[in-house]
Amino acid sequence: MFVGSGSIRGEELGPIVRYQDLLQIYPYNDEIYRIYVTGEQLRRMAAHIFRKGALEGLTEYYQLSRGVRLEFDYTKQELISLSVNGYEVQDNDRYSVGIPSFHMSNLEEFMGVTPEEVSTYRRPKVVATKSSDVLEEYFSTRELIRVSGEQRQVIHK
């Protein structure tokens, strides 16, 4: 799942998370799409996210899901490595990616791929009509959530 950092309106949750805390930290309630991309497209999307201006706050910046690790040379504007669950992303691999509707509507600008490109393998599909419902369900079915110490983004300047 790619979630824009600007969508997240707080630094932390807990230790007890109430419904109003969820709505405060993530006040949006838009649809969540599942798009299907090739490894090549995913690598291009990742490189586009870290284009010039990303570290200065001039572009959209994304949080990466657990298990995704990215290494990028910001000076050379070159993606060094992108892996999912310890496996390096290969061009012909297939991935499904969750994306909020606002970002889906701005796919080319925010991620450097067109809606037509991400529709070649399978059409994008709405998998949740309310993103806050997804968060509510996640937190209501888990106890004692621990943040992993994994380093998801390594940026060389």
**Domain definitions of the chain by residue range:** 3-156
| Six-digit token string for 31 | 């649809």
pLDDT of 73 > 70? The answer is yes
The third-level CATH classification (topology) of the domain covering 3-156 is 5'-nucleotidase;  domain 2 (3.90.780)
Task: Band the pLDDT of 22: cuts 50, 70, 90.
Answer: confident
Q: Report which of residues 20 and 10 the model is more confident about.
A: 20
pLDDT of 52 > 70? The answer is yes
pTM: 0.85
| Six-digit token string for 68 | 């995704």
| Six-digit token string for 150 | 């994994």
Note whether 118 and 38 are within 8 A (CB).
Answer: no
153, 136, 137, 139: which is closest to 23 by C-alpha? 136
Note whether 17 and 80 are within 8 A (CB).
Answer: no
- For residue 69, list its beta bridge partners: 83
DSSP state of 6: G
Note whether 7 and 28 are within 8 A (CB).
Answer: yes
Q: Which residues contact 6 (CB under 8 A, 6 or more apart)?
A: 60, 61
pLDDT value at residue 140: 83
